A = this chain, B = another copy of it.
Amino acid sequence: MKLKELADKLGAKLDPPDAEAEITGVGPIESAVPGQVTFIANSKYAALANTTRASALIVDEKFTAAGKPLLRIRNTQYAYARAVELLHPPLREQCTIHPTAVIDPSSQIGANASIGAYVVIGPRVEIGEGCTLMPHVVIYRGVKIGRNFFAHSHVSVREDCEIGDKGDWYKIPQTGKVVIEDHVEIQANCCIDRASLAETRIGRNTKIDNLTHVAHNCTVEENSMLCAQVGLAGSTEIGKNVILAGQVGVAGHCKIGDGTIVTAQSGTHGDIPAGSMVSGSPAFDHKQWLRSVTAFTRLPELARAIRGKTGKE
């Protein structure tokens, strides 16, 4: 899309007015490539405008840095979301019902439905207009669903359940991707969320056990191991050779240094330096934690001892 056309569609003022570029997508300011547009939320990030490789910037009306074509608009956040939508078409492209879909004749599907290959819809189902059922969705008998329902592959909706309407409010699309490097193993029922922009990345040789959750924008480097039922909150960075034992939780926007071991069921809140071994929720040094949990089992006796000395009841 031409930059001029994008400016018109966003209702933004192009500066300089004769700037030209072919825009192919939206990217985050640090990693955008030529051909992408990015945005600057406020003047605090003005310095990045000088280093980004993006071909154009969405900025507010008072933004003063230069050197790149600018799309000036009051609500930059909304313009950004709109640009994502314009440049990254959603999954739902056409209203078709795949010939392999098995739909019970007693079911009613509203207008403008998009129904993928091998979808199965049981008897007496009612679905409102504008639904998107990706391939392999199964809807059991008697289900009632409202307008604009979207179900991804392998979703099951069990018999007689009810689902309301979706979809008339404004949401920032998630258009990044997931990158799985070589020799990664991901076991059953894991969820690796795509990035909002850019990517969620799982590094070479990393192993991820069952039922683990990796939120959007996380990075896990090489040779790390995420045991079963681990959960990583958004934008967390896990270094190389890290072991997160079973059921560990890691808070968002934190860095876990190379070679760190977090023992089972622990939860980390904040950065962890490389080579650490931590335990507990919140987690701290493992050896110290071992002493603390030992003392914890005797805590009532300690409390009694104090009361005996202080005379408090």
A interface residues, Cβ below 8 angstroms from B: 91, 98, 100, 102, 116-118, 120, 134-136, 138, 140-141, 146, 152-154, 156, 158-169, 177-184, 187-189, 191, 193-194, 204, 209-211, 213, 215, 227-229, 231, 233, 246-247, 249, 251, 264-265, 267, 269, 280-282, 284, 288-289, 291-300, 302-303, 305-306, 308-310, 312
Contacts and interface: CB of A to CB of B under 8 A. Distances in A.
Number of copies: 3
A292 B297 contact: yes
A277 to B, nearest CB: 15
A233 B310 CA distance: 42
Contacts of A246: 213, 231, 233, 249
Contacts of A178: 158, 161-162
Contacts of A303: 295, 298, 302
B305 A312 contact: yes
Contact of A118 (B120, B168, B184): B120
Contacts of A135: 102, 120, 138
Contact of A310 (B91, B169, B309): B309
Contacts of A215: 209, 228
Contact of A184 (B158, B164, B211, B300): B164
